[in-house]
Amino acid sequence: MGDIDISKAERPARVRVGGVDVERMKEFRKRFPPAAKRHLYIRDHLLFPQRDPKTNPEKLEFDDPGKVTEELKKMVLEMGAQEVGVAAFDPRFTFSQVDQIEHKTVIVFAMAMEYDFMADIGPQSQDEVHRVYYELDDIGTRLAHHIAAYGYNQTLEIFHCRPMGGWRASVSWVNTAP
């Protein structure tokens, strides 16, 4: 894979198309299989309220931030993610309709969905989608709690993406500024 020129990147616009919080989604939700309904309930009513933990006022200082980064990445993998990376935050890759935040770092993690379930669009694929979304949201929420416990501000913004190959990615933004 070659280098990609991002020098002229602009913030993308996102229009919600039938998300679970939209009125027109009610009829579709009724057809969800039980496991999908359960995972959606956990995400919407149990995990979502926990996404903004109070930051520890006793901020921990680190002699080796690289070591802490590796520990966080290991933790995310132990929580169930299959891939994790840390990069400098670039606001050009946030949606234009969301408020700009002052963060320096982004943690991205991903997990694959079961191909056989996803190839057959039906109840099993709905179960699989909501199972993985739930797991990614759970990982992101727990990661946000750990970052807040270190004494750093964090904003958990979870975007479920559909890159090639059936991967789903979640993004957690972390402000490592004092």
What distance in Å separates the CA atoms of residue 22 and residue 24, rounded to the nearest whole number?
6
Question: What are the helix (H) ranges across 5-62?
Answer: 26-30, 34-41
**Who wins on pLDDT, 140 or 30?**
140
Question: What does each C-alpha distance from 42 to 34, 46, 73, 159, 174 come to in angstroms?
Answer: 12, 5, 25, 17, 24
pTM: 0.77
For 118-140, give the DSSP string: HHSTTHHHHHHHHHHHHHHHHHH
In 79-128, at which residue ranges do the beta strands (DSSP E only) sit? Answer: 83-88, 105-112
- For residue range 56-97, what is the model confidence (pLDDT) as tens digits? 999 888 888 889 889 999 999 999 999 998 888 887 777 777
What pLDDT is stored for residue 117 in this prediction? 66
Q: Domain map of the chain by residue range?
A: 23-174
* pLDDT greater than 50 at residue 176: no
* Helix, strand, coil distribution of the chain in percent, nearest 5: 45, 15, 45
Is the predicted pLDDT of residue 165 greater than 60, yes or no?
A: no
How far out from the chain centre does Cα 14 lie?
Answer: 16
d(CA 73, CA 54): 22
